Amino acid sequence: MSELTTIARPYAQAAFDYAVENKTVPQWQDMLAFAAEVSKNETVKSLLTGSIAAEKLAEIFNGVCGEQLDQQGQNFVQVLAENRRLQALPDISVLFNQLKADLDKEIDVDITSAVKLNKKQQTELSASLEKRLERKVKLNCSVDPELIAGVLIKAGDIVIDGSLRSKLNRLSDALQA
């Protein structure tokens, strides 16, 4: 994430709280994702960093977003424009998605293995991780032949390195010490 994360956090939390209270989390997720993409557009980016009045900026931004934003979404954009925070929309969207995943007790897990994992291995790993992490697990599998054998698992702040390369490095360090 970028340096705007600290700025984005309270806005993401406020939008999430509102969405949960009104049972509109999926709609807000879609609105924020769309608005984040709009804010990444080079033409729009130049407007965001310019010296346009907040009201005019919000009007232009909401006009570009069109019907993708409901009235509350447009009000949210207005607040962001007034506080010169529209450039934080991509981070707001990412943080909002993290809050939703926490609410749903879901976690993305990156698994890097030396060889491609078959469905049975993925299912077993998923079941084991769900039990350990007490969350629904969504696996993102990739292959890195440099691991030699084993897997490297990253789930949020948790890293489990069961690769042969890592074990050989630890053995080498122990022998050199």
How large a percentage of the chain has pLDDT more than 70?
98
pLDDT of residue 65: 84
11 and 97 in a common domain: yes
Q: How far apart are CA 78 and CA 72, in angstroms?
A: 10
Instruction: Decide which of 71, 101, 131 is a domain's last residue.
Output: 101
Residue 49, class by beta-carbon neighbours within 10 Å (0-12 exposed, 13-18 middle, 19+ buried)? exposed
Over residues 139-163, the pLDDT tens digits come to: 999 998 888 888 899 987 888 888 8
Residue 78, class by beta-carbon neighbours within 10 Å (0-12 exposed, 13-18 middle, 19+ buried)? middle
54 and 87 in a common domain: yes
Greater confidence, 76 or 58? 76
* Sequence-separated (6 or more) residues with CB below 8 Å from residue 176: none
113 and 48 in a common domain: no
111 and 59 in a common domain: no
Q: For the residues 31-36, what does the mean pLDDT come to?
A: 92
Q: Where are the alpha helices (DSSP H) in 41-139?
A: 42-48, 54-65, 71-82, 89-103, 119-133
Q: How far apart are CA 8 and CA 94, in angstroms?
A: 9
Residue 43, token pair as written in the block = 């033409």
Structural domain containing residue 58:
5-101
128 and 93 in a common domain: no
Say if strands 151-155 and 106-113 run parallel, antiparallel, or are unpaired.
Answer: antiparallel
Q: What is the CATH number of the domain that holds 135?
A: 3.40.30
Highest mean pLDDT among 3-7, 59-63, 172-176: 172-176
pLDDT at 1 over 60: no
Q: How far apart are CA 114 and CA 118, in angstroms?
A: 12
Q: What is the CATH number of the domain that holds 80?
A: 1.10.520.20
43 and 88 in a common domain: yes
Instruction: Decide which of 101, 127, 144 is a domain's last residue.
Output: 101
How many domains, in total, are found in the chain?
2
How large a percentage of the chain has pLDDT more than 90?
29
Residue 77, class by beta-carbon neighbours within 10 Å (0-12 exposed, 13-18 middle, 19+ buried)? buried
Amino acid at 120: K
- Per-residue confidence at 26, pLDDT binned at 50, 70, 90? very high
Q: For the residues 113-133, what does the mean pLDDT come to?
A: 90
Q: Any idea which of 20-24, 28-32, 57-61, 92-96 has the lowest mean pLDDT?
A: 57-61
Torsion angles phi and psi, residue 70, rounded to 5: -80, -175
110 and 91 in a common domain: no
Q: For the residues 115-120, what does the mean pLDDT come to?
A: 91
pLDDT at 2 over 70: no
pLDDT at 164 over 90: no
43 and 14 in a common domain: yes
111 and 86 in a common domain: no
Over residues 88-101, the pLDDT tens digits come to: 899 999 999 989 98
